[in-house]
Structure 1
Amino acid sequence: MRTGFKASNIYLWLVFVILYAPILYLAYYSFNSGETMHGFDGFTWHWYREVFADTRLLIILLNTIVIALFSSAISTILGVIGAIAIHRLRKLQNQNALLSLNNVLIVSPDVIIGASFLILFTMLGIKLGFASVLISHIAFSVPIVVIMVLPKLKEMSPTLLDAARDLGATEWDVLAKVMLPFIKSGIFAGFFMALTYSLDDFAVTFFVTGNGFTTLSVEIYSRARQGVSLSINALSTLIFLFTLILVVGYYMISRRGQQANAGRKGRAADWKVPNE
């Protein structure tokens, strides 16, 4: 038993090493005073200063953040509405059908989604740029929000909503004062996951971006094709750290939501009248 436990730990650490070693290697050489990653000549902040001195890169960074914030906010609203609509369906067969359609967008290759949007925008005559990237990011972010919110809706007892209606609450009051506060941890988790996916997306954005507008992922790809520069290392390190902060924030919000649900269940159990 103990041997198997140790073997599983070794396997887990091996997986983490394989995943994070290239990222740490990239971040390590972002502080290299040399020009290449073949040898560490000395510590320097030069490549980070070069990143922040690049006006064009800062504009691209602003474009990326604006797209991520707008797409995640809009997709969160649409995803919450979609999750509530699916949850309110009475037939389980209809719920499973809609969930299957929702999950198809998640498991579909990004290349197919990007090519599909490119064809759609070309047919509709939509100019590739800010609008096309925003619409595409909203489209692949909505299913993620639905997946995050729907389990929280299923955790909610139907008697809670019935009790609110019996006390005179309108449907809007039930939604705003009962349902949304209960699932807020799932809403925040969906928002952060959509934000992370939007910031990191390359394949879909590569298809739908146009001249004069681009995002960080596409810009990094373009610069890497011209030759490896350690400024790319610095930029990639900053993006990784920002994404890591988002993931930690998502974890903390999810954990706080679980603790709050556990506390509510504990208080409800204390108020139960024992059967005589």
Structure 2
Amino acid sequence: MKRKKIANIYLFIVFVILYAPILYLMIYSFNSGGSMHSFEGFTLDWYKEVFDDTRLLIIVLNTLVIALLSAAISTILGVIGAVAIMYVKRRQMKNTLLSLNNVLIVSPDVIIGASFLILFTIVGIKLGFTSVLLSHIAFSVPIVVIMVLPKLQEMGSTLIDAAHDLGASNWDVLTKVVLPFITPGIFAGFFMALTYSLDDFAVTFFVTGNGFSTLSVEIYSRARQGISLSINALSTLLFLFTIVLVIGYYFINQKSSRPKGLGVRK
């Protein structure tokens, strides 16, 4: 009982350390004083300033388009990759592919960003929308693979063998057995890729060009120019949008994993 109490206290302290700065930022986004030294009164002027900024709204649109496109494409590629890894019969080859996939996840973002910058410069791809989209797809695919593989391993080969015994073709097995079974993993991969794309700064900072920016890079650029509570308002909106995505994924995952009732024939 004592260990459980200590564990709960430790967990509480960790959450306070993680969320206290975010809460502080959100509270002062409503400060009429214009600084983060003292809270003088409640106002929505900083949020109004954000929504009145046409350039910022274009950047928000850029961010959403990049996030949705990269998440959708990386989900398709990640599912194909996970299925391919699952059906590799040689254990050594499978472990090698998994290791190569995991390297991109654990590699520092600065290294990945610098590598993409060098690659795009050599190939001749102009820095901007295309370079940011390609880089976001690249670091999102391994995340989708990691999310989908456990569901494939959970399914096993018995279900597939049974479908083949009943006369199903390979395409029927893929579309009517495999994909429906791993749907929760696909949704998890999509939402994780979407969240990573929205929040990414380090990789995007390297591969973005003049005339194109995303929210994370814009927030960093504005913060360097000096303290403005419009940055707080913008960061708050981005954080709340990410929370909505996480909650949406939770409810979709709960609905997908809920066991369906079996009809009893009288």
Q: How does the TM-score come out when normalised to structure 2? A: 0.96
Q: Distance in 2 between matches of 1:191 and 1:205?
A: 19
Identity %: 75
Partner of 1:37: 36
Partner of 2:178: 179
Partner of 1:210: 209
Q: Distance in 2 between matches of 1:37 and 1:175?
A: 55
Deviations 1:22-49 (A, max 9, x none): 0000000000011101011110111111
Q: Distance in 2 between matches of 1:68 and 1:49?
A: 25
Partner of 1:100: 99
> SS state of the match for residue 97, structure 2?
helix
Deviations 1:100-147 (A, max 9, x none): 000000000000000000000000111000000000000000000000
Partner of 2:22: 23
Deviation for aligned residue 1:237: 0.4
Partner of 1:237: 236
Deviation for aligned residue 1:189: 0.5
- What code does the residue aligned with 2:159 have? L
Instruction: Kindly report the root-mean-square deviation, in angstroms, between the aligned alpha carbons of the 2 structures.
Output: 1.3
Deviation for aligned residue 1:162: 1.4
- What code does the residue aligned with 2:104 have? L
Partner of 1:274: none
- What code does the residue aligned with 2:186 have? I
Q: Does the alignment pair 1:252 with 2:263? A: no
Q: Distance in 1 between matches of 2:253 and 2:108?
A: 28
Q: Distance in 2 between matches of 1:87 and 1:248?
A: 30
Deviation for aligned residue 1:5: 1.1
Q: Is the contact made by 1:118 and 1:207 (CA closer than 8 Å) also made in structure 2?
A: yes
Q: Distance in 1 between matches of 2:86 and 2:255?
A: 23
- What code does the residue aligned with 1:177 have? K
Partner of 1:199: 198
Q: Distance in 2 between matches of 1:83 and 1:5?
A: 38
Partner of 1:135: 134
Q: Distance in 2 between matches of 1:228 and 1:143?
A: 37
Q: How does the TM-score come out when normalised to structure 1? A: 0.93
Q: Is the contact made by 1:86 and 1:98 (CA closer than 8 Å) also made in structure 2?
A: yes
Q: Distance in 1 between matches of 2:145 and 2:158?
A: 23
The range that moved more, 251-260 or 72-81, is: 251-260
- What code does the residue aligned with 2:18 have? L
Deviation for aligned residue 1:158: 1.2
Deviations 1:178-207 (A, max 9, x none): 100000000010000000000000000000
Q: Is the contact made by 1:202 and 1:218 (CA closer than 8 Å) also made in structure 2?
A: yes
Deviation for aligned residue 1:214: 0.5
Partner of 2:68: 69
Q: Is the contact made by 1:129 and 1:208 (CA closer than 8 Å) also made in structure 2?
A: yes
